A and B are shown apart, each in its own frame.
Chain A
Amino acid sequence: MRAAHFCESCGKVQPPVPVDYFSFFGLPPRLSLDVAALEKSFYELSRKLHPDLNARAGSQEQEWSLEQSSLLNDAYRTLRDPIKRTEYLLHLEGVLLEEQSKSATEQARATGELKKQIVPPDLLEEVFELNLHLEELRMNKKMGDDDPALFEEIGKAKLSLEAKHEALLRELQTYWKEWDGLIDRGPDASTTDRQRVSGKLVDVLNRRNYIRNLVRDVNAAMEN
Chain B
Amino acid sequence: MATDRIVGIDLGTTNSLVAFMQGETPVVIPGDDGLNLLPSVVALDANNQPVIGNAARNSLIETPERAVYSIKRLMGRGSEDIQEELKLFPFRLADDLQAGEVLRITLGDKTFTPPEISALILRQLKRSAERFFGGPVTKAVITVPAYFNDAQRQATKDAGRIAGLEVLRLVNEPTAASLAYGLDKKRNGIVAVYDLGGGTFDISILKLHDGIFEVIATNGDTHLGGDDIDNLLITIALDDIRGDLGIDLRRNAEAVQAIRKAVIDAKIALSSQPSVKLDIELPGNKHYLREITRNQYEQLIQPVIDRTVGPCKQAMKDANLKPEQIDEVVLVGGSTRIPKVRALVKELFHREPHTDLNPDEVVALGAAVQANILGGGSEATENMLLLDVTPLSLGIEVAGGVTDKIILRNSTIPASATQFYTTQIDGQTNVAIHVLQGERELAKDCRSLARFDLKGIPPMAAGIPRVEVKFLIDANGILHVSAREQRSGKEAEIQVQPSYGLTDEQVEGMILDSFDNAEEDFRQRQLIEARAETTTILTALEKGKKSAAWGALTTDEKKQIAKMEKSLVAVNAEQDYQAIRKAIDALNQGTMRLAELMMDTAVSSALKGKNMDETDLGEGPTAPHPMAKAEFE
B414 and A52 within 8 A (CB): no
Give every chain B residue within 8 A of A74 (Cβ-Cβ).
415-417
A70-B414, A74-B415 known; A50 vs B376 contact (CB < 8 Å): no
Q: Which residues of chain B (340-373) have a CB below 8 Å from chain A?
A: 370, 373
Give every chain B residue within 8 A of A52 (Cβ-Cβ).
169, 370, 373-374, 385-386, 475
Give every chain A residue within 8 A of B400 (Cβ-Cβ).
109
Q: Does A56 belong to the interface (CB within 8 Å)? A: yes
Minimum CB distance partner of A65 in chain B: B414
- Bitwise, A46-78 to B at CB < 8 A (1) or not (0) is 110011110110000000001101110110110
Minimum CB distance partner of A108 in chain B: B400
B374 and A77 within 8 A (CB): no
Q: Does B22 belong to the interface (CB within 8 Å)? A: no
Give every chain A residue within 8 A of B210 (Cβ-Cβ).
43
Q: Which residues of chain A (25-59) have a CB below 8 Å from chain B?
A: 43, 46-47, 50-53, 55-56
Q: Which residues of chain B (164-209) have a CB below 8 Å from chain A?
A: 168-169, 209
Q: Does B63 belong to the interface (CB within 8 Å)? A: no
Q: Does B474 belong to the interface (CB within 8 Å)? A: yes
Interchain CB contact (< 8 A) of A66 among B168, B373, B385, B472: B472
A51-B414, A69-B414, A73-B415 known; A46 vs B212 contact (CB < 8 Å): yes
A56 vs chain B, min Cβ distance (A): 6
Give every chain B residue within 8 A of A69 (Cβ-Cβ).
414, 475
B602 vs chain A, min Cβ distance (A): 55
Q: Which residues of chain B (383-440) have a CB below 8 Å from chain A?
A: 383, 385-387, 398-400, 402, 411-417
Minimum CB distance partner of A76 in chain B: B412
B94 vs chain A, min Cβ distance (A): 38
A53-B385, A55-B374, A109-B399 known; A73 vs B475 contact (CB < 8 Å): no
B376 and A56 within 8 A (CB): yes
B400 vs chain A, min Cβ distance (A): 5
Interchain CB contact (< 8 A) of A77 among B370, B373, B386, B411: B411
Q: Does B375 belong to the interface (CB within 8 Å)? A: yes
Minimum CB distance partner of B374 in chain A: A55
Instruction: Kindly state the separation between the CA atoms of A109 and B168 in the bound complex, as whole angstroms.
Output: 45
Q: Does A171 belong to the interface (CB within 8 Å)? A: no
Minimum CB distance partner of B417 in chain A: A74
Interchain CB contact (< 8 A) of A73 among B370, B375, B385, B413: B413
Instruction: Kindly state the separation between the CA atoms of A77 and B412 in the bound complex, as whole angstroms.
Output: 8
Instruction: Kindly state the separation between the CA atoms of A19 and B135 in the bound complex, as whole angstroms.
Output: 47
A106 and B399 within 8 A (CB): yes
Minimum CB distance partner of B370 in chain A: A52
Interchain CB contact (< 8 A) of A51 among B412, B417, B474: B474
Q: Does A17 belong to the interface (CB within 8 Å)? A: no
Instruction: Kindly state the separation between the CA atoms of A106 and B168 in the bound complex, as whole angstroms.
Output: 42
A46-B385, A52-B373 known; A109 vs B413 contact (CB < 8 Å): no
Q: Does A110 belong to the interface (CB within 8 Å)? A: yes
Give every chain B residue within 8 A of A71 (Cβ-Cβ).
416
Give every chain A residue within 8 A of B399 (Cβ-Cβ).
106, 109-110
Interchain CB contact (< 8 A) of B472 among A53, A70, A106: A70
Q: Which residues of chain A (108-137) have a CB below 8 Å from chain B?
A: 109-110
Instruction: Kindly state the separation between the CA atoms of A110 and B399 in the bound complex, as whole angstroms.
Output: 8
Interchain CB contact (< 8 A) of B375 among A47, A50, A56, A70: A56
Instruction: Kindly state the separation between the CA atoms of A110 and B210 in the bound complex, as whole angstroms.
Output: 52
A40 vs chain B, min Cβ distance (A): 10
Minimum CB distance partner of A55 in chain B: B374
Q: Which residues of chain A (75-119) have a CB below 8 Å from chain B?
A: 76-77, 106, 109-110
Give every chain A residue within 8 A of B398 (Cβ-Cβ).
106
B545 vs chain A, min Cβ distance (A): 55
Give every chain A residue within 8 A of B374 (Cβ-Cβ).
52, 55-56
Instruction: Kindly state the separation between the CA atoms of A70 and B417 in the bound complex, as whole angstroms.
Output: 9
A109 and B402 within 8 A (CB): yes
Give every chain B residue within 8 A of A67 (Cβ-Cβ).
472
Give every chain B residue within 8 A of A76 (Cβ-Cβ).
412
Instruction: Kindly state the separation between the CA atoms of A106 and B424 in the bound complex, as whole angstroms.
Output: 15
A99 vs chain B, min Cβ distance (A): 10
Give every chain A residue within 8 A of B416 (Cβ-Cβ).
70-71, 74
B420 vs chain A, min Cβ distance (A): 10
B164 vs chain A, min Cβ distance (A): 20
Instruction: Kindly state the separation between the CA atoms of A110 and B402 in the bound complex, as whole angstroms.
Output: 12
B251 vs chain A, min Cβ distance (A): 43
Give every chain B residue within 8 A of A110 (Cβ-Cβ).
399
B412 and A73 within 8 A (CB): yes
- Bitwise, B107-147 to A at CB < 8 A (1) or not (0) is 00000000000000000000000000000000000000000
A16 vs chain B, min Cβ distance (A): 11
Give every chain B residue within 8 A of A46 (Cβ-Cβ).
212, 385, 387
Instruction: Kindly state the separation between the CA atoms of A77 and B472 in the bound complex, as whole angstroms.
Output: 15
Instruction: Kindly state the separation between the CA atoms of A106 and B399 in the bound complex, as whole angstroms.
Output: 7
A7 vs chain B, min Cβ distance (A): 18
Instruction: Kindly state the separation between the CA atoms of A106 and B404 in the bound complex, as whole angstroms.
Output: 11
Minimum CB distance partner of A73 in chain B: B412
Give every chain A residue within 8 A of B383 (Cβ-Cβ).
47
A70 and B385 within 8 A (CB): no
Which of B212, B373, B387 lies at the interface centre, i.e. has the most chain A CB atoms within 10 A of its CB? B387
Give every chain A residue within 8 A of B472 (Cβ-Cβ).
66-67, 70
Interchain CB contact (< 8 A) of B414 among A43, A47, A56, A66: A66
Instruction: Kindly state the separation between the CA atoms of A43 and B411 in the bound complex, as whole angstroms.
Output: 15
A51 and B385 within 8 A (CB): no
Instruction: Kindly state the separation between the CA atoms of A58 and B417 in the bound complex, as whole angstroms.
Output: 25
Q: Which residues of chain A (149-180) have a CB below 8 Å from chain B?
A: none
Instruction: Kindly state the separation between the CA atoms of A70 and B472 in the bound complex, as whole angstroms.
Output: 8
Which of B412, B413, B417 lies at the interface centre, i.e. has the most chain A CB atoms within 10 A of its CB? B412
Instruction: Kindly state the separation between the CA atoms of A76 and B389 in the bound complex, as whole angstroms.
Output: 13
Give every chain A residue within 8 A of B415 (Cβ-Cβ).
70, 73-74, 77
Q: Which residues of chain B (572-598) have a CB below 8 Å from chain A?
A: none
- Bitwise, B471-500 to A at CB < 8 A (1) or not (0) is 011110000000000000000000000000
Instruction: Kindly state the separation between the CA atoms of A46 and B524 in the bound complex, as whole angstroms.
Output: 43
A52-B386, A52-B475 known; A73 vs B212 contact (CB < 8 Å): no
B172 vs chain A, min Cβ distance (A): 13
Instruction: Kindly state the separation between the CA atoms of A56 and B166 in the bound complex, as whole angstroms.
Output: 13
A34 vs chain B, min Cβ distance (A): 17
Instruction: Kindly state the separation between the CA atoms of A76 and B214 in the bound complex, as whole angstroms.
Output: 13
B475 and A51 within 8 A (CB): yes
Minimum CB distance partner of B210 in chain A: A43
Give every chain A residue within 8 A of B373 (Cβ-Cβ).
52-53
B168 and A73 within 8 A (CB): no
B209 and A73 within 8 A (CB): no
Give every chain B residue within 8 A of A43 (Cβ-Cβ).
209-210, 212
B414 and A73 within 8 A (CB): yes
Give every chain A residue within 8 A of B411 (Cβ-Cβ).
73, 77
A135 vs chain B, min Cβ distance (A): 21
Instruction: Kindly state the separation between the CA atoms of A173 and B503 in the bound complex, as whole angstroms.
Output: 52
- Can you identify 9 A-B contacts, CB atoms within 8 angstroms? A51-B474, A52-B169, A52-B370, A55-B168, A70-B414, A70-B472, A70-B473, A73-B414, A109-B399
A residues contacting B by CB (< 8 A) are 43, 46-47, 50-53, 55-56, 66-67, 69-71, 73-74, 76-77, 106, 109-110
Shortest 4 CB-CB contacts between residues of A and residues of B: A70-B414, A55-B374, A70-B416, A73-B412
Task: List 10 other contacts, CB 8 Å, given A67-B472, A70-B472, A71-B416.
Answer: A47-B212, A51-B475, A56-B374, A56-B376, A69-B414, A70-B414, A73-B411, A73-B415, A74-B417, A77-B412
B residues contacting A by CB (< 8 A) are 168-169, 209-210, 212, 370, 373-376, 383, 385-387, 398-400, 402, 411-417, 472-475
